A and B are shown apart, each in its own frame.
Chain A
């Protein structure tokens, strides 16, 4: 492939929108062409620059111009007439001040609406979508996968959804994810399909499962309030306010499950960090005001929080102590030598006697450095990587006293997160695109730019386990298997058995965006643009449980 051709594909390559063959051709060209690599790096950088550009907000006056305009007044009058039955009934009803809409009336209008033929209004694609879902559902019923009574009925196309009644969801490990403003939950084993976890009356923004998996905290983006609901769909409670509409940041549970920290909107469009007990009591602000605040990271002992705040374009790293009730700035900039870089991964060092945090900084193109800072030290963060060095992948593990695996060119280095140790390196089978450390910290799985999966544990030579790998490897909870997407399939590779490792196909599919093992290691949840699939880890069964794409990471909870 020549540069002229490759250039046309760089953008789609960046977005992972190329067919595998073409992607391989572009990848091969990039390996040997400095100019195209530079162009690709620029595309990444400019995407980041555009994403980070400040948003322009309209003046307050615009609200008055719209809502006090003669046009708006006419519209309200028309809708009022419609409400009295003299015109077709609207689906979207404004809150008309003098005539609040009763729920029963809403239901009646809704039913009327569904009886009229709305489909043609929205075009042929919608007809096709409905047909596809109906046919898909029929197939599922044929296979016995759709429980009776599990359709939402009333002509709604979401026939794949489960009931939204008050009965608890079936007990066991359940995969949870977001789409269409609702959290959906599906039992890890058995034949059930995805069922609604959160009530129909809320629109979920950010969310997180509790450490024991029994509860889910979420922000209702419509009201800005934080709710906690049991993983079996019971006892939904509103426990506090995130202070405004459309909160998207995820709340963070303390590891002991007693506290929830969350990002809240403050006056003047600023954000702040707040902390409350898991029942909503003692809700206090713990950070200063900033343009942006990240979801905090808890220390293992649940006594401290680490988070970032961005003001005037600069992102600083902070900690907060629940004991002293004081926050402390640990770094004024994610990477003191690179103003563009922001924190990519932030973690607490494992030794509670010498509390400190470690983080990687990324400038949109590469990891620019790895840092650590102790709470009791001199105050200045320590750069753990060579100044000017760049890394294509970096992953932290709390094993071995805290260490980073960082890849640069054809070298993978283990870098101790404290300054006391020295780095060790191995030569990889190519430039590393992704690296994942096993939960027990003993082994690393990494994917090279030429799509090969390698397995490496310190003291042994790395070996290639698979080729034609796309996406990131996912470790099983017991560190004995890696799930990965390769050559049109989701595969499970046994670790520790060398290059002849047993490989099991879990499901067919390309374009998976997530692979999440259940906590018992018996299931793998797979998300792609077609929906969510659950595959049993023994490769016996894979079933599509939701025909909607997950819009959030999948998390596993435990109901019952």
Chain B
């Protein structure tokens, strides 16, 4: 018997590969606090660690690369300024996502997209289908992107945090500043909405190319 494998069962490669996929700065393992008494963090290291997950999250929230660049920059600069004042038990990951969420929401608000302009109207924007891997099958990636774009932003944020960043309900509640019961509702509506849009697009609902 392999009595002490770090994996639950030797050979559970699905979970292991998923763990690797989540390597950079997502996943429950990353929500750990950073104790300044024990280690001095370099801003550059924080950036290296979180740049891709934060950028990816912001990108899916706002829907285009250029704005995601600007907002990722804002997010990190805000974080670096505030970090020295934070408590030693800060959950760095959830905190960074909270700043990113608020920064993206502010930007969307500036674009007057909140309340009176449904997100769907943005479908006229050219879809950004640039893939991290040019060989990746464009179809699924494009559908995911388009379906996310059509969802209400709060639900989109909750769904991204849960599925892509591996956040727990409690972590989502903290990041989005809502109650845990609200997370249940957000995720329920998010899944319902994503399913509707994805299936509609799959059946020829028109994906901008």
Q: Which one of A10, A63, A552 contacts B29 once the chains associate, using CB atoms below 8 Å?
A: A552
Task: Please state if B20 and A57 are interface contacts (CB–CB under 8 Å).
Answer: no
Q: Which one of B36, B68, B198 contacts A93 once the chains associate, using CB atoms below 8 Å?
A: B36
On chain B, the residues within 8 Å of A131 by CB distance are none
A346 to B10, CA, bound (A): 8
Q: Which one of A56, A208, A248 contacts B132 once the chains associate, using CB atoms below 8 Å?
A: A56
Main secondary structure of the interface of B (DSSP, over half): helix
- Most chain B CB neighbours (cut-off 10 Å) among A110, A176, A182: A110
Task: Please state if B76 and A66 are interface contacts (CB–CB under 8 Å).
Answer: yes
A69 within 8 A of B: yes
Task: Please state if A248 and B29 are interface contacts (CB–CB under 8 Å).
Answer: yes
A362 within 8 A of B: yes
Q: Which one of A82, A249, A557 contacts B16 once the chains associate, using CB atoms below 8 Å?
A: A249
A391 within 8 A of B: no
Task: Please state if B37 and A110 are interface contacts (CB–CB under 8 Å).
Answer: yes
A271 to B159, CA, bound (A): 27
Task: Please state if B132 and A51 are interface contacts (CB–CB under 8 Å).
Answer: no
A106 within 8 A of B: yes
Task: Please state if B2 and A255 are interface contacts (CB–CB under 8 Å).
Answer: yes
Task: Please state if B37 and A209 are interface contacts (CB–CB under 8 Å).
Answer: no
With contacts A11-B191, A347-B11 taken as known, whether A56 is within 8 angstroms of B56 at the C-beta atoms is yes
Taking the nearest CB of chain B, how far is it from the CB of A392, in angstroms? 16
**A to B contact number (C-beta, < 8 Å):** 321
Segment of A27-35, A42-50, A449-457 in the binding face: A42-50
Name the CB-closest residue of A to B33: A180
Taking the nearest CB of chain A, how far is it from the CB of B161, in angstroms? 11
Task: Please state if A308 and B13 are interface contacts (CB–CB under 8 Å).
Answer: yes
B32 within 8 A of A: yes
B125 within 8 A of A: no
Task: Please state if A555 and B69 are interface contacts (CB–CB under 8 Å).
Answer: no
A263 to B42, CA, bound (A): 25
Taken residue by residue from 72 to 90, chain B's Cβ proximity to chain A (1 for < 8 Å, 0 otherwise) reads as 1100110011011111111
Q: Which one of A247, A311, A477 contacts B23 once the chains associate, using CB atoms below 8 Å?
A: A247
Taking the nearest CB of chain A, how far is it from the CB of B88, in angstroms? 6
On chain A, the residues within 8 Å of B12 by CB distance are 344-345
Taking the nearest CB of chain A, how far is it from the CB of B175, in angstroms? 14
On chain B, the residues within 8 Å of A247 by CB distance are 23
Q: Which one of B32, B37, B73 contacts A107 once the chains associate, using CB atoms below 8 Å?
A: B37
Segment of A286-294, A459-467, A497-505, A531-539 in the binding face: A286-294
- Most chain B CB neighbours (cut-off 10 Å) among A92, A94, A203: A92
Name the CB-closest residue of A to B199: A42
Name the CB-closest residue of B to A91: B36
Q: Which one of A17, A211, A551, A552 contacts B184 once the chains associate, using CB atoms below 8 Å?
A: A17
B117 within 8 A of A: no
Name the CB-closest residue of A to B147: A46
With contacts A95-B42, A118-B88 taken as known, whether A208 is within 8 angstroms of B6 at the C-beta atoms is yes
Task: Please state if B13 and A294 are interface contacts (CB–CB under 8 Å).
Answer: yes
Q: Within residues 58 to 103 of chain B, which ones have a CB less than 8 A from any CB in chain A?
A: 59-60, 65, 68-69, 72-73, 76-77, 80-81, 83-90
Task: Please state if B44 and A67 are interface contacts (CB–CB under 8 Å).
Answer: yes
A514 to B8, CA, bound (A): 9
A552 to B22, CA, bound (A): 14
B136 within 8 A of A: yes
Task: Please state if A556 and B29 are interface contacts (CB–CB under 8 Å).
Answer: no
On chain A, the residues within 8 Å of B115 by CB distance are none
Task: Please state if B42 and A12 are interface contacts (CB–CB under 8 Å).
Answer: no
Q: Within residues 541 to 556 of chain A, which ones have a CB less than 8 A from any CB in chain B?
A: 551-553, 555-556
A119 within 8 A of B: yes
- Most chain A CB neighbours (cut-off 10 Å) among B4, B65, B86: B4
B154 within 8 A of A: no
A54 to B55, CA, bound (A): 12
A107 to B37, CA, bound (A): 6
Q: Which one of B10, B45, B198 contacts A297 once the chains associate, using CB atoms below 8 Å?
A: B10
On chain B, the residues within 8 Å of A157 by CB distance are 89
B152 within 8 A of A: no
A100 to B11, CA, bound (A): 44
On chain A, the residues within 8 Å of B116 by CB distance are none
A342 within 8 A of B: yes
On chain B, the residues within 8 Å of A50 by CB distance are 144, 159-160, 163-164, 194
On chain A, the residues within 8 Å of B19 by CB distance are 206, 248-250, 295
A308 to B12, CA, bound (A): 11
Task: Please state if B72 and A58 are interface contacts (CB–CB under 8 Å).
Answer: yes
On chain B, the residues within 8 Å of A154 by CB distance are 37
Segment of A71-79, A134-142, A485-493 in the binding face: A71-79
A186 within 8 A of B: no
Task: Please state if A91 and B84 are interface contacts (CB–CB under 8 Å).
Answer: yes
On chain B, the residues within 8 Å of A396 by CB distance are 11
A399 to B48, CA, bound (A): 46
A179 to B33, CA, bound (A): 9
Task: Please state if A53 and B11 are interface contacts (CB–CB under 8 Å).
Answer: no
With contacts A213-B4, A556-B3 taken as known, whether A42 is within 8 angstroms of B55 at the C-beta atoms is no
**Which residues does B use to contact A, with CB under 8 Å?**
1-14, 16-25, 27-29, 31-45, 47-49, 51-53, 55-56, 59-60, 65, 68-69, 72-73, 76-77, 80-81, 83-90, 130-133, 135-137, 140-141, 144, 159-160, 162-164, 168-170, 184, 187-188, 190-192, 194-195, 198-199
